[in-house]
């Protein structure tokens, strides 16, 4: 009896197409898992609304202090005129921590790209696009309290 050669090609075409479709379908969930895995989980939202940063005497006139308010650095300034002011200390350009300028016209300077801010946090020069975010400072029994209630 003569054996007939099975028609391999249609079977291979079917297999190639099936594997191709499986590959395309598998890529989506695999990429989904991958992208979601490498995207870091959101940090715990800030619950703290105020922070005691020390005594009034800790910050002499014309100086500043940087403290951590949850994850963010906050700069508290005791101005020459005796006022206390507080701002989130990250430069609104690319996030470097700003420095208090006690000499000359008082204000804040970012050493990273040279942005300047006045004592009210307003951006004066350099690439910073926005003012610094101001915070409320209150004095309670000689203690300085900074709160997230924006000024």
Partner 1 sequence: MLEQLRRWFGDRLPIAEIVAYFSKKTVPQHKHSFWYYFGGLTLFFFVVQIVSGILLSLYYKPSPEAAHKSILEIMNRVPYGWLVRSIHSWSSNLMIGCLFIHMFSAFLMKAYRKPRELMWMTGVLLLFLTLGFGFTGYLLPWDTMAYFATLIGTEVPKTLPIIGDWGVSLLKGEDEIGGETLARMYSIHIIILPLITLVVVSYHVALNQVFGSSVPLGTIEKKAPIPFFPNFIYRDIGSWVIGFTALICLSTVFPWGLGEKADPLASAPFGIKPEWYFLPLYQSLKIAPSTVFSLSGELIINLLVGAGSLLWFLVPFIDPRASRGQKTPVFTALGVVLILYIIITIIFAFIT
**Residues within the interface to partner 1 (CB under 8 A):** 38-40, 43, 66-68, 71-73, 89, 93-100, 110-114, 123, 126-129
**Min. distance of Cβ 14 from partner 1 in angstroms?**
32
137 near 129, Cβ under 8 Å? no
Residue 145, SS3 per DSSP? strand
Q: In the complex with partner 1, which residue's Cβ is closer, 8 or 79?
A: 79
Compare residues 72 and 79 and give the one whose CB is closer to partner 1: 72
Q: What is the 3-state secondary structure (H, E, C) of 25-88?
A: HHHHHHHHHHHHHHCCCCCCCCCCCEEEEEEHHHCCCCEEEEEEECCEEEEEEECCCCCEEEEE
Closest CB 125 distance from partner 1, rounded Å? 9
Residue linked to tokens 């610094």: 132
For residue 51, count other CB atoms closer than 10 A to its CB. Answer: 19
Identify which of residues 20 and 95 has a Cβ nearer to partner 1 in the complex.
95
In the complex, least distance from residue 2 CB atom to partner 1, rounded to whole angstroms: 44
Q: Please say which residue, 99 or 136, places its beta carbon nearer to partner 1.
A: 99
Smallest distance, partner 1 to C-beta of residue 57, A: 21
């Amino acid at each position: 009896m003569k054996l007939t050669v099975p028609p391999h090609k249609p079977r291979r075409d079917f297999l190639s197409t099936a594997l191709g479709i499986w590959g395309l379908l598998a890529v989506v969930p695999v990429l989904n898992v991958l992208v979601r895995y490498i995207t870091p989980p959101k940090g715990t939202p800030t619950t703290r609304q105020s922070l005691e940063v020390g005594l009034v005497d800790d910050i002499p006139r014309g100086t500043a202090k940087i403290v951590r308010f949850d994850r963010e650095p906050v700069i508290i300034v005791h101005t020459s005129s005796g006022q206390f002011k507080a701002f989130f200390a990250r430069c609104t350009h690319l996030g470097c921590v700003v420095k208090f300028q006690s000499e000359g016209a008082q204000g804040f300077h970012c050493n990273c790209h040279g942005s300047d801010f006045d004592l009210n946090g307003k951006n004066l020069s350099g690439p910073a696009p926005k003012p610094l975010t101001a915070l409320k400072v209150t004095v309670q029994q000689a203690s300085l309290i900074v709160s997230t209630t924006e000024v």
